[in-house]
Amino acid sequence: MPTLSSSFRPAPRRPAVLLVDDDPAVTALVSRWLCGHRHAQVHIAHDGPTAIQIVATQSVDAVFSDVELLEENGVDLIRVLQLVAPALPLCLMSAKMSRSRALGAHCVRVDGFLTKPLTAASIVDRLDMMLQAPSFGAR
């Protein structure tokens, strides 16, 4: 007969996701999807400096960032985030650019590229892929 201690399994850790987009409607919608489907803890940044501060000071498991932010380029932001947290999974999103146009000239490694309009399935599926890295859950 199993004892209480042998059958106890801690609840899986909620993923912490940083969402970077200058459009509050996008951040609200994507945040709702991430919280609803993966019970994620979502940090929101509407600009690059805030995103960098969150990654430098918070535990973040994955980042979704728009390519075209109001005051900066999302690809440049990804470069900085890779310096701050080299193993952090990163996904870019864009309504106007193709993956090859957004990344081709910049030689940036990302773990995903999503084209807007986004869907709950595309966001959740990409998060699941990014979190399959061996380091997730080890923090």
The model carries a pTM of: 0.84
d(CA 61, CA 127): 9
Q: Is residue 20 part of a domain?
A: yes
Which residue carries 């991430």 as its tokens?
34
The answer to which of 22-31, 37-46, 129-138 has the lowest mean pLDDT is 129-138
Does the pLDDT value for residue 125 go beyond 50? yes
Q: What pLDDT sits at residue 105? A: 46
Smallest CA-to-CA distance from 17 within 80, 83, 64 is with 64
pLDDT digits 0-9 by tens, 80-105: 999 999 999 999 998 887 666 666 54
Q: Provide the domain limits for residue 51.
A: 15-97+119-130
d(CA 60, CA 111): 15
State how far the alpha carbon of 38 is from the alpha carbons of 27, 33, 77, 95, 118, in Å: 16, 8, 25, 24, 16
Q: What pLDDT sits at residue 96? A: 81
Name, in order, each residue with C-beta under 8 angstroms of 69's C-beta and a sequence gap of 6 or more. 20, 21, 22, 46, 47, 48, 77
Q: How confident is the model at residue 61 (pLDDT cuts 50, 70, 90)?
A: very high
Q: Is residue 53 part of a domain?
A: yes
CATH number at residue 84: 3.40.50.2300
Q: Is residue 123 part of a domain?
A: yes
Task: Please state the rounded mean pLDDT for residues 3-28.
Answer: 80
Does the pLDDT value for residue 12 go beyond 60? yes
Q: Is residue 114 part of a domain?
A: no
Q: Is residue 33 part of a domain?
A: yes
Q: Is residue 9 part of a domain?
A: no
Tally the domains of the chain.
Answer: 1
Q: Is residue 113 part of a domain?
A: no
